[in-house]
Amino acid sequence: MGRAIRIQYPGALYHVTSRGNERRHIFVDDDDRRKFLGILADYHDRFGVVLHCYVLMDNHYHLVLETPLGNLVKVMHGVNSSYTGYFNRRYVRAGHLFQGRYKAIVVDKDAYLLELSRYVHLNPVRAGIVKGPEEYAWSSYLGYIRKSKRLEWVEYSWILSHFGPGREAGQKNYRQFVAGALGKDQDSPLKQLYGQLVLGSEEFIEKIKALLKGKKISQEIVGRKRLEDYPRPDKILGAVASAFGEPQGRLVEKQGRNNTAKKVAIYLMKRYACLDNKEIGQVFGGLHYSAVSKAAARLEKELSKDKDLAKLVDRLVSNVKT
């Protein structure tokens, strides 16, 4: 499996998860959980981390945290390394505790933090451990609904401020917000990931892509293609329509598969737009994915025989990639 790229910038918000190696327990008892929370508290103080919510399960954890200093890698390397050292000493073992690297998804705070907090707090309920999140001691949920259960180093106020003007109203309404998902088959917000690494609006995704622009993204990175800057289908269609003097609407009609301009547009999308054959077919009026592949193959043969067409396509490539 490819390695996930680490997207870092000041003020970034992340959903971080890490699982035990071979899905084995990383928390054997409550002393282990207390130790892990102590490490989180220490890194909060030392590196300025803002932790919005957490849940500690037997073989994995979820954290939703913000890094005002843009230092996620340093923080998470320290947290996991410190806990692994403690765990190995206590249980007289050696080697890796966690399964590979932690997974960190960069999150659009304004659009997804509330929903993501509910998802994290309901993890023990989905796992069948408890019937309600208030029954589980090892998450931040109790601090959201009871002031007496709050930890000084957990940030409750940002989320609660969206549920009422005062503390009591915020606690009550947040509890209702979380309870509203109980017993319902609700999709995880993480199913809406872009490039397996970003959760946010289109505007937020474009912001992240801009941050990565000009940086070399390794071939082994999961979601690499989605995060690189690729020409949009409408840009390719517009350039081809202009070059051939064809109405753009005609290019996307399902009919006319032997239309040279249409074949050029399909060929360019297949090569440069980071779309699969099915997605390209949808652009062209529901064209079958096999027809997309055949159209691109026919165009390649024509390019090898028609030098003028090849020059035109080369100019179009320069146009759509800038």
* Continuous segment of H or E residues that includes residue 301: helix 289-305
142 pLDDT more than 50: yes
Report the mean per-residue pLDDT for the chain. 87
Q: Give ranges for CATH 1.10.1750.10 in the chain.
A: 230-320
Cβ distance 5 to 197 under 8 Å?
A: yes
pLDDT at 228 over 90: no
Nearest to 62, CA basis, from 201, 194, 189: 189
Q: How far apart are CA 9 and CA 72, in angstroms?
A: 9
Find all residues with CB under 8 Å of 220, minimum gap 6, and list them: 2, 3
**How large is the average pLDDT for residues 279-292?**
86
Give the pair of three-digit tokens for residue 193.
């990931």
Mean pLDDT of 211-238: 62
DSSP string for 168-214: HHHHHHHHHHHHTTTTS-PPPGGGG-BTTTEES-HHHHHHHHHHHTT
Per the rule left: phi > 0, alpha: psi between -120 and 50, beta: everything else, 246 is beta
Cβ neighbour number for residue 310 with a 10 Å cutoff: 12
Cβ-in-10-Å burial (0-12, 13-18, 19+) of 66 comes to: buried
The CATH number fitting domain 230-320, selected from 3.50.50.60, 1.10.150.570, 1.10.1750.10, 2.40.110.10: 1.10.1750.10
The span from the first CA to the last CA of the chain, in angstroms, equals 31
Tell me what pLDDT residue 87 has. Answer: 96
Looking at the chain, the whole-number percentage of residues with pLDDT higher than 90 is 50
State yes or no: pLDDT of 162 exceeds 50.
yes
Q: What is the pLDDT of residue 172?
A: 95
* More reliable by pLDDT, 311 or 134: 134
Q: Is the pLDDT of residue 184 over 90?
A: no
Edge-to-edge strand order for the sheet containing 103-107? 50-56, 60-67, 12-19, 103-107, 198-199
What pLDDT, on a 0 to 100 scale, did the predictor assign at position 274? 66
Q: Which of 33-42, 160-169, 278-287 has the lowest mean pLDDT?
A: 278-287
Task: Check whether 82 has a pLDDT greater than 60.
Answer: yes
Name the 3-class secondary structure at 304. helix
In which residue ranges of the chain is CATH 3.30.70.1290 found?
12-224
pLDDT score recorded for residue 196: 78
* pLDDT 10s digits, 255-282: 665 688 888 888 888 877 767 788 888 8
- 248 pLDDT tier (thresholds 50, 70, 90): confident
Taking only the tens place, the pLDDT of each residue in 292-309 is: 888 888 888 888 888 889
**What Å distances lie between residue 246 and 42, 97, 120, 265, 268, CA to CA?**
64, 61, 52, 12, 16
DSSP 20: B
User: Is residue 220 scored above 90 in pLDDT?
Assistant: no
pLDDT above 70: residue 4: no
What pLDDT, on a 0 to 100 scale, did the predictor assign at position 3? 52
Q: Mean pLDDT, to the nearest integer, of 225-235?
A: 67
User: Superfamily assignment of 12-224 in CATH?
Assistant: Transposase IS200-like (3.30.70.1290)
Report, as an integer, the average pLDDT of 30-59.
95
Question: Is residue 253 scored above 90 in pLDDT?
Answer: no
Give all strands (DSSP E) within the chain, no chain letters.
Answer: 12-19, 50-56, 60-67, 103-107, 198-199
Instruction: Compute the half-sphere exposure of residue 168: CA atoms within 13 Å on the CB side of its CA.
Output: 0
pLDDT of the residue at 227: 52
d(CA 193, CA 37): 28
